[in-house]
Amino acid sequence: MLIKKIFILILLGSSSVYANNNILKELTNLVDDVEKEKIEKHKVLNYTFKQRMRTQIIARDVLLIITGFNTDFYKKEVGKNANTFNENLHKLVDSKEDIKRAKKLDPNFAKKLKDLETTWSKFYESVKNISKDSRDKKSIEFVINNNMRLLEDIAYIYSSFIKSYHSTDKLEASMAHIKNILYTQVGKPRMYINQIIKDRLSIKEDINTKESQKNLQKGIKEMDKLMKALKDGDKDLELSGTEDRAILEKLAISQKIWEEIKTLLQEKKLRRDKWLTLIEKNNSFIKAHTEVVRLTRASNKN
């Protein structure tokens, strides 16, 4: 559609210098409008992009609080991440045009958004309670039992927003799909790593032990597959891999940390110093893989 408009404007402008000047202005305005639309789309996607990871890091930090690992620090961290999630959720809800577009495409979107708001309201209140009293059993149980539901809801919302931006042009829609799959998948390891550490902490504290053990093994398997796919490609995950040297270098750093984390996860019982190392490597992985995400997005902007 954009190409057609530009072509028509160029044809109209070929008649005179005066017309060319006016057409040049029209073309500039058209490009500016497109860029503004791109920026607005990026805003709402950015509000939701990191929310998946935050659901798991909040749950992880709640478990760190109840296990007694640097309790005062993680009380502050869990409060900070919850406040950021809440702020971004409000921005998302205020994105009226984006929501209208998503609702039009997906009849289940409105219900999912309402479910997300309802779950988050109780979740946020529970986190604030834990920040004040780390022994608040009711609040702890709610966070542990509902963090995956929150993750699933935010993932659904994110996916719906992406689909609603697809062009009606088949080629453009196909290219956008490929890019959006890449953006979605490249960010997932940061969510997976928090989820994996959360499950390991749940096992330590004997919370939903059988389910946590099952989720832990599943998470490790999915993480292995995804990390390999980001480098080499994977048909099932719709990833073609990368030959970008800068991205490969950063991926190698993430992979090295992940292998170190896996080694620690295999130990049945971890001493306190090993737990501290595991949490440190968890945070190091997030920092390292954020560079992978940044470079991947930067290399696929156009």
Predicted TM-score (pTM) of this structure: 0.79
Which carries the bigger pLDDT value, residue 287 or residue 297?
Answer: 287
User: Residue 44: is its pLDDT beyond 80?
Assistant: no
pLDDT digits (tens, 9 = 90+) for 217-231: 999 999 999 999 999
C-alpha pair distances (Å), 202 with each of 52, 63, 210, 215: 19, 7, 10, 11
User: Residue 182: is its pLDDT beyond 50?
Assistant: yes
The string of DSSP codes covering the chain is -HHHHHHHHHHHGGG-HHHHHHHHHHHHHHHHHHHHHHHHHHHHHHHHHTHHHHHHHHHHHHHHHHHTSSHHHHHHHHHHHHHHHHHHHHHHHT-HHHHHHHHHH-TTHHHHHHHHHHHHHHHHHHHHHHHH-TT-HHHHHHHHHHHHHHHHHHHHHHHHHHHHT--SSHHHHHHHHHHHHHHHHHHHHHHHHHHHHHHHHHHHTTSSHHHHHHHHHHHHHHHHHHHHHHHH-BTTTTB-----HHHHHHHHHHHHHHHHHHHHHT-SS--HHHHHHHHHHHHHHHHHHHHHHHHHHHHT--
How far, in Å, CA of 207 to CA of 215, rounded?
Answer: 12
Set out the domains of the chain in order of their start, with CATH numbers.
43-165 (1.20.120.230), 174-302 (1.20.120)
Region label for 68, one of left (φ > 0), alpha (ψ between -120 and 50) or beta (otherwise): left
User: Residue 37: is its pLDDT beyond 70?
Assistant: no
User: Residue 139: is its pLDDT beyond 70?
Assistant: yes
> What confidence tier does 4 reach under pLDDT thresholds 50, 70, 90?
very low
pLDDT digits (tens, 9 = 90+) for 126-137: 999 998 888 898
Is 191 within 8 Å of 52 (Cβ atoms)?
Answer: yes
User: Residue 283: is its pLDDT beyond 70?
Assistant: yes
pLDDT digits (tens, 9 = 90+) for 253-280: 999 999 999 999 989 899 999 999 999 9
Q: What percent of the chain has pLDDT over 70?
A: 79
> What confidence tier does 22 reach under pLDDT thresholds 50, 70, 90?
low
User: Residue 42: is its pLDDT beyond 80?
Assistant: no
pLDDT of residue 157: 87
